[in-house]
Amino acid sequence: MSGFDETPLDEADETVRVRFVVNGRKVACEVAPRDTLVDCLRDKLELTGTHAGCEMGACGACLVQIDGRAVHSCLMYAVQADGAAINTIEGLTESGVLGDLQAEFHRRNALQCGFCTPGMLVTAQELLSRMTQPSRDEIRDALSGNYCRCTGYEAIVDAIDAVAKARSEGGGGA
């Protein structure tokens, strides 16, 4: 920024370099300290499959995996995630780890507008990694932080239930 010293720039404009492993690939980007992780993923890294719904951790649209756990990317500053391994819907799709869930969601039409879907899939994957045979109530409970305005939830519960059963029968692997 030298040469422009006469232009007073706010603190908010100062950026910090952060590095992540996103979807298995090392990336670096410049973020402002106030940038949330969801904004960083969507705007800087153009991973627009992660959505911002409520910006306060209530709706689950922004869920991503950080170091293997489901995390609200709207409740975390990008600088806090420095050094973390982050998986978004794009990477989880490419790796195939969600393939059976995505196929079952598709088959049962467990989505309409699709805005909640990436977050639903992240929650479903987390649930099935903790619990191989959840009951319907346990599935509904696990989804209690995922808002969907379109489906009424039942097809989503059905799809997760079916995948849980199929994974158990297939030896628990995905």
Partner 1 sequence: MSTPLTSLDRPNSYIGRSVPRPNAKRLLAGRGRYVSDLKLPRMLHAAFLRSPHAHAKIGSINTEPARGVEGVHLVATGEDLAKLCTPWTGTLDHFKGMTSAPQWPLPLDRVVWAGQAVVAVVAESRAIAEDALELIEIDYEDLPVVVDIDSARVAGGPLVNPGSANNTCFRSQLDSGTVDDAFAHAAHVVEEEFTFGRHTAVTLEPRAIVADYDPAAGALIVHHATQTPYQFQDLYSRHYGIPEARVRVIATDIGGSFGMKLHVYHEDMAVVGLSILLGRPVKFVADRMESFVSDIHARDHRVRARMALDAKGEILAMDVLDLTAIGAFSTYPRTSVVEGNQVIRLIGAPYRFRNYRATLEVIFQNKVQTSQYRAVGHPIACAVTERLMDMAASKIGLDPFAIRAQNVIPDDAYPQTSPTGYRFEALSHQACLKRLHEIMDYDGLRAEQADLRKRGIYRGIGIAAFVEITNPSPAFYGVGGARISSQDGAILSLTPSGEVRCMISVTEQGQGTEAIISQIVADQLGVAQEHVKVITGDTEVTPHGGATWACRGAGIGGETALQATRALKRNILEIAALILQEQPSALDIIDGEVVDAATRKPRLPIAEIARIAYFRSDTLPPGTQAQLTVSHHFAPQGYPFAFTNGIQGCVLDVDVETGLVKLLKHFIVEDCGRVINPMLVDEQLRGGIVQGLGAALFEECRYSDTGQLMNGSLADYLVPMPMEMPDIVIAHVETPTADTVLGAKGVGEAGTAAASACVLNAVNDALAPFDATINSMPITPAKVLKALKRL
Which residues contact partner 1 (rule: CB under 8 A)? 7, 9-10, 12-13, 32, 34-35, 42-43, 46-56, 58-59, 61, 88-90, 93, 102, 105-109, 111-118, 121, 136-137, 139-141, 143-157
CB of 44 to partner 1, least distance (A): 11
CB of 97 to partner 1, least distance (A): 13
CB of 53 to partner 1, least distance (A): 5
CB closer to partner 1, 129 vs 147: 147
CB of 26 to partner 1, least distance (A): 21
**Do 88 and 22 contact (CB within 8 A), yes or no?**
yes
CB of 68 to partner 1, least distance (A): 19
Helix axes 154-169, 99-108, angle to 10 degrees: 140
CB closer to partner 1, 84 vs 146: 146
CB closer to partner 1, 21 vs 103: 103
CB closer to partner 1, 137 vs 169: 137
Distance CA 148, CA 116 (A): 6
